[in-house]
Amino acid sequence: MPPTPYLKLATVRDLRVFRDHLKALGITLPCDTEVLPAPESPLAAPLSVPSFEFQISSSAPPNPKPETRNSKLIIGNRFAVHPMEGWDGTPDGLPTENVRRRWVRFGESGAKLIWGGEAVAVRPDGRANPNQLMLHRPEHKDALAELKEVLLSAHRDRYGTTDDLCLGLQLTHSGRYCKPYDKKRMEPKILYRHPILDRRLGLPDDYPLMTDGDIRELIEEYIRAATWAHEIGFHFVDLKHCHGYLGHEFLSAHTREGDYGGPLENRTRFLRELVEGIRSAAPGLEIGVRLSAFDMVPFKPDPELSGPGHLGPGIPEDYSGLLPYVYAFGTNPEHPVEPDLTETFQLFEIMQDLGIRLVNVTAGSPYYNPHIQRPALYPPSDGYQPPEDPLVGVARQMNVMREIKERFPEMILVGSAYTYLQDFLPNVAQAAVGDGWADLVGLGRMILSYPWMPDDVLSDRPVQHKIVCRTFSDCTTGPRNGLVSGCYPLDLFYKKSPEAMELFQIKRAQMEKK
């Protein structure tokens, strides 16, 4: 693989060098010189969600007896754990010891908002992999109750209380990216014909679309899962609308006919009917949305710069014959490599009217434009070399978040794309919250390698450089090839596992083919 032309942040320890590099790139990011400990740090400030009725459980699973009360939901600090899509449950959608270990680490992290913990499928054929957790049958409900208690116990043991810990559960259907029964076989559920993605997935022109009836049946599955999550004691459910999965695809269904396609009113009908149904079935349960606030045309490796053993940088698929581009949400239809937030702002107005106060803002999709969604220096094996300094991608997401926060100051917004900042994440995160760019800082990949970063930052301990995520992308390459989830380069538990050698052999074989 040829050397990357971009600065490797892992080699930088001087904040001035980092700031000078940002200036040279011409991008704006907030960055504090001094990282403050709790309680002085903006990252340590608690956040109060306006009063609503919710259920909490203090009894041990599997049969918790929830107590219902009116209360203010307190989020004890400004760190959040993003939802992960595990490839390490059982084929029946139940947790394994690997899953429990990850949830223990979520609880130990020091973050006070656990946004989903895991991407949980509401039905078997909606899974993105055959080992994804589910909330579809009573045994799934019992298992998630136990898993929740594992997380709460870990947090309580380390920090003494869970009174200021907020737990959500992400509910999902993977839509176009369903792979529910075989790690090597896609079984997509699609809403409309996408000229680029259909070709990538090998879908024929007559591949069936989900009907409006199918969608209404699915909505009932979501409502049942949300009701169970409420009974378990989760404070909120996340109705996932990001990363190319089904909820996200609804937002770009411009060409779909019927009740769920065409104008924005129809493209948001799925969300609106979900909210209405959940509010009726589980009153007092808060609802959040993880949203890809903007998107772009799919990218691919530049064939002119790819060769044996290396991937080329990403370039957009040819869209010249597809203008105006109507196959994305939050995208400039005349120049679909640029965001256009017109409909994004309209969607936020709709969510605000629906009483949704928690939104986790992300972008794009890991399947077709990962440099937009999770900036990284090293691509997954099915990706491409970054077409821009990954800090540009970080700044793009953070600046979009800033625009949204300025327009919707009453909403509680979680930011994404912070992991690539690596050792300078605390400086930027503190400034972002302090300057009002975001309410909370969400961490995903970083939590896999360095789950205790929030606690270290707020406790005035130095950053543990050896376990800072360097965006090697093995946490993506492994699952894409059917291996369990985890940080293979930096977490010794996975580094010493048999899967680590298998992953090494897979990567070497794939690179030899390129």
Domains of the chain plus CATH, in order, are 9-63+71-464 (3.20.20.70)
Q: What is the DSSP string of 347-362?
A: HHHHHHHTT--EEEEE
Q: Going by C-beta distance under 8 Å and a sequence separation of 6 or more, which residues neighbour residue 238?
A: 83, 115, 116, 168, 169, 170, 171, 287, 288, 289, 290, 358, 360
For residue 231, what pLDDT is reported? 98
* Distance, CA of 449 to CA of 472 (rounded, Å): 11
Tens-digit pLDDT profile for residues 112-138: 999 988 999 999 999 999 999 999 999
Q: Is the pLDDT score of 218 beyond 60? A: yes
Candidate from 90-99, 121-130, 373-382, 414-423 with smallest mean pLDDT: 373-382
Instruction: Calculate the average pLDDT of the chain.
Output: 93
* Distance, CA of 26 to CA of 353 (rounded, Å): 37
With a pLDDT cut of 90, the percent of the chain lying above it is: 89
At residue 224 the predicted structure's pLDDT band, cuts being 50, 70 and 90, is very high
For residue 426, what pLDDT is reported? 98
* CB-based burial, 415-451: b 16+ in 10 Å, e otherwise: bbbbbbbbbbbbbbbbbbbbeebbbbbbbbbbbbbbb
* Distance, CA of 514 to CA of 508 (rounded, Å): 10
Q: Going by C-beta distance under 8 Å and a sequence separation of 6 or more, which residues neighbour residue 66?
A: 55, 56, 57, 231, 232, 233
Other Cβ atoms closer than 10 A to 18: 22
Q: Is the pLDDT score of 332 beyond 50? A: yes
With a pLDDT cut of 70, the percent of the chain lying above it is: 94
* Distance, CA of 213 to CA of 261 (rounded, Å): 14
What residue has token string 């209380």? 161
At residue 60 the predicted structure's pLDDT band, cuts being 50, 70 and 90, is very low
Q: Is the pLDDT score of 139 beyond 70? A: yes
End-to-end CA gap in the chain: 10
What residue type is assigned to position 122 of the chain? V
Q: Is the pLDDT score of 34 beyond 70? A: yes
Chain mean position to CA 161: 27
For residue 464, what pLDDT is reported? 97
For residue 71, what pLDDT is reported? 53
Q: Is the pLDDT score of 246 beyond 60? A: yes
Read off the pTM.
0.94
* Distance, CA of 201 to CA of 476 (rounded, Å): 19
